[in-house]
Amino acid sequence: MHKPVSKSADAHAAKVIVCADAAAASRTVANMIVAAVNANPSMVLGLATGGTPTATYANIVDDYRAGKVQFKDVTSFNLDEYIGLSGTHPQSFRYFMQSELFDHIDIDPNNTFVPDGDARDPDAHAIQYEAQIAASGGIDLQLLGIGHNGHIAFNEPGASPSTRTRVVELTPSTIEKNARFFASADEVPKTAITMGIGTILEAKKILLLATGDGKAEAVRRSLQEAASEAIPASWLEQHPDVTFVLDEAAASELVR
């Protein structure tokens, strides 16, 4: 179903799995998450939103319904949330997680954490969210996507590897890309709360899922250029256990 990619001598240490298509890549990531939960039923899972992980979550729900996995003792932390959207707003990440995953599995709702886009003091809430992650013992497995500009979570170009959970301004390119989920670009929130790159790098294991040729340049620059603030995902090279799961299209610019 998939094969590893051999990398050039100066490439980073990330493991890379290339699958035939997006469906196979999504299934591969689902299998890895289910296996991790079965190995550690009380694990802390870091979760992502957006178009890319939707099929992975559908596969996980299928596996749960088939009796292959339980989530009753799992704790989850999401990467980010728009500021100004309540958890009941159809474009909030809390709403996405409920509709795509949480409402369909046996995870305890009290153990699902998503930043509060309606927090009265977003800066204080970001500090509290970081503290909640630490109090949980840290994230065991973090799922990531990657933006067209190389962002991970809402860590846009310019973010350093020392950043923590905080309030950020979204770049015009990210607002434009996310406008497809809203009636217009004007409705896309301009700020968000996001885990920092430093927060993400403290996860014990990281899985990054990327599909489609629109992600190919960001994937190549993340894996085969020197780490820099220009491509936030390139900081993942500093992590000892990170795996990129790609379809052929997303892997199309990699040096084989």
Catalytic residues: 80, 149, 151, 156
> Among the residues of the chain, which ranges form H helices?
22-39, 54-65, 93-100, 122-135, 172-178, 197-201, 216-224
Tokens, residue 14: 């990330």
CA 202 to chain centre: 14
Burial class of residue 34 (count of CB atoms within 10 Å of its CB; 0-12, 13-18, 19+): middle
CB 253 within 8 A of CB 246: no
Residue 83 CA to residue 64 CA, distance in Å, equals 32
CA 142 to chain centre: 7
Residue 26 CA to residue 175 CA, distance in Å, equals 25
Q: List the beta bridge partners of residue 194.
A: 80, 166
Question: What is the DSSP code string of 88-149?
Answer: TSTTSHHHHHHHHTGGGS---GGGEE---TT-SSHHHHHHHHHHHHHHTT--SEEEE---TT
